[in-house]
Amino acid sequence: MFNNRTKQIMRLTAALFVMIQLSLTSAHASDDFGMWGSLNAEKQLNDRWGLGAEVEYRSRDNMKSGDRWSFGLEGNYQITGWLKASAGYTLLDDHHYKENSKGTMYSDYWSIRHRFNVSLTGSVSWGKFTFSLRERWQYSYRPEKTAQQYVIGTDAEAGEKVYSGKGKNVWRNRLQVKMKLSQVFRPFVNAESTVSKELEKMRYNFGTELHVDKHHSFDIKYIYQHMCGEDNDEPDRHVIGLGYTYKF
């Protein structure tokens, strides 16, 4: 009745529906919900060298406002059969909403950040399973930004505020298990920590890759992000992630 391609689309739609329901029913009152979408391009230059590019959009506040646009470039090198090195740069445009200490004024603005990263990823296979550990150093720099302030509850302007430039180093650790269920489906689950002076957040992902052919693939995943740092005022977040990758 249905061809294979139609069945794949139906399964992907059903999985998306289940993940959205899971996200909404498991959220606490103080948690946030958003969607992350990405477009990726990858080129394998030879047996060892590869290049990649990504454009991503993120929403927050229960999908009512934008959180981030980003564009990234990455190069990778296969050191051995089980160890890969990579380095990349990402340009981020972040949306900020900040109130002053008295709660009388706020700023609502977008600002640029520059991000650099260097990673080592080790992986081993066992049957249909692949286990991998990625260790990543990441440095982000936000240039100085002057933003207009407004009076809370109105659109009345209340002068400008200068937000100083700031740099930050973090260490990210990701442990992942992926299964080659079929030529099409590659389910995966992973956990990633972000550490600066202390553990700042944990991010948990589970989903599947959907390989249509050698050039086209999709991924769909549910993400739970738990904020750990005492000084971090961001809420925990439930996210549905959708991605498309084209391989040259």
pLDDT in tens, 146-203: 999 999 988 888 889 999 999 999 999 999 999 999 999 999 999 999 999 899 999 9
pLDDT at 9 over 70: no
pLDDT at 138 over 70: yes
pLDDT of residue 229: 72
DSSP 84: E
pLDDT of residue 21: 56
Residues 166, 172, 178, 183, Cα dihedral to 10° = 30
DSSP 177: E
H helix runs in the chain, sequence order: 4-26
Q: State pLDDT tens for residues 201-244.
A: 999 999 999 999 999 999 999 999 999 876 667 889 999 999 99
Q: Is the pTM of this model over 0.85?
A: yes
Determine the Cα–Cα distance for residues 110 and 96; give it in Å rounded to an integer.
Answer: 6
Determine the Cα–Cα distance for residues 85 and 122; give it in Å rounded to an integer.
Answer: 9
Closest C-alpha among 123, 137, 134, 220 to residue 171: 137
